[in-house]
């Protein structure tokens, strides 16, 4: 029987929502906080009026950004419990919606910035989420992704980890990548790569421009 990775991810994060921010472990928010801090630092001196955070979880990144920069913030997440928890924070100029990365409920050319932190490895298919992020960005807008990858193990590690997660994991993890692979995927879907780097051995970030 084929796994439903979307539903597995939804259940995994529904169960984590109330403890996600305060439980600083690999299975909870440890890596997410590292990625969010990177994106926060990258955007610190950037000008923007609207930002969409895909896979926003508890709104951790938007909460950080909204305290430093006034803009319209929208968070989107598969998990209704994550969305409810994020909305309960009453973050200024922010709203959080339930939805999928491959079917964004927004018009073309809507956002100056689109972010995605520690969410992409839960996407069963890679091109459609990238195409959707590209679609909703304004011309010249930035897509910033930070995720956990295979680090020095590259292509072989991605194939092996992908196979193991798809066969055995119950967390919804199913699409393991790495820095160079993500850059290629983004280029294939229309992005100009502005910046890419390893944040830690296994966490990377890529910035693409529409």
Number of independent structural domains in the chain: 1
pTM of the complete model = 0.95
**pLDDT digit string, tens, across residues 150-201:** 888 877 777 777 777 778 788 888 888 999 999 999 999 999 999 999 999 9
pLDDT of residue 1: 54
Q: What is the CATH number of the domain that holds 198?
A: 3.40.50.150
List beta partners, residue 148.
203
pLDDT of residue 160: 73
List beta partners, residue 114.
52, 143
CB 165 within 8 A of CB 137: no
pLDDT of residue 118: 96
**Between 117 and 172, the higher pLDDT residue:** 117
CA distance 28 to 17: 9
Lowest mean pLDDT: which of 3-17, 87-101, 124-138? 3-17
Helix (H), strand (E), coil (C) string for the chain: CCCCHHHHHHHHHHHHHHHCCCCCCCCCCHHHHHHHHHHHHHHCCCCCCEEEEECCCCCHHHHHHHCCCCCEEEEEECCHHHHHHHHHCCCCCEEEEECCCCCCCCCCCCEEEEEEECCHHHCCCCHHHHHHHHHHEEEEEEEEEEEEECHHHHHHHHHHHHHHHHHHCCCCCCCCECHHHHHHHHHHCCCEEEEEEECCCCEEEEEEEC
Is pLDDT of 27 > 80?
Answer: no
**Between 83 and 29, the higher pLDDT residue:** 83
Nearest to 31 by CA among 176, 202, 164, 194: 202
pLDDT of residue 133: 98
pLDDT of residue 37: 97
- Domain range for 132: 5-209
Mean pLDDT of 132-140: 98
Lowest mean pLDDT: which of 32-41, 64-73, 139-148, 150-159? 150-159
């Amino acid at each position: 029987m084929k796994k439903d990775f979307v539903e597995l991810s939804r259940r995994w994060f529904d169960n984590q929502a109330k403890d996600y921010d305060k439980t600083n472990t690999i299975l909870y928010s440890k890596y997410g906080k590292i990625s969010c801090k990177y994106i926060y630092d990258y955007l610190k001196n950037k000008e923007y009026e609207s930002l969409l955070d895909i896979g926003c979880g508890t709104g951790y990144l938007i909460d950080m950004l909204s305290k430093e920069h006034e803009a319209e913030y929208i968070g989107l997440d598969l998990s209704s419990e994550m969305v409810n928890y994020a909305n309960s924070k009453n973050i200024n100029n922010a709203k959080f919606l339930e939805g999928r990365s491959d079917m964004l409920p927004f018009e073309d050319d809507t956002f100056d910035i689109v972010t995605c932190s520690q969410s992409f490895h839960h996407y069963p298919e890679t091109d459609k989420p990238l195409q959707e992020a590209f679609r909703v960005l304004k011309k010249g807008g930035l897509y910033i992704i930070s995720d956990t990858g295979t680090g020095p193990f590259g292509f072989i590690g991605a194939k092996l980890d992908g196979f193991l997660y798809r066969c055995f994991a119950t967390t919804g993890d199913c699409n393991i990548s790495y820095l160079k692979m993500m850059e290629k995927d983004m280029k294939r879907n229309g992005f100009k790569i502005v910046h890419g780097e390893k944040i830690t051995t296994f966490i990377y970030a890529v910035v693409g421009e529409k």
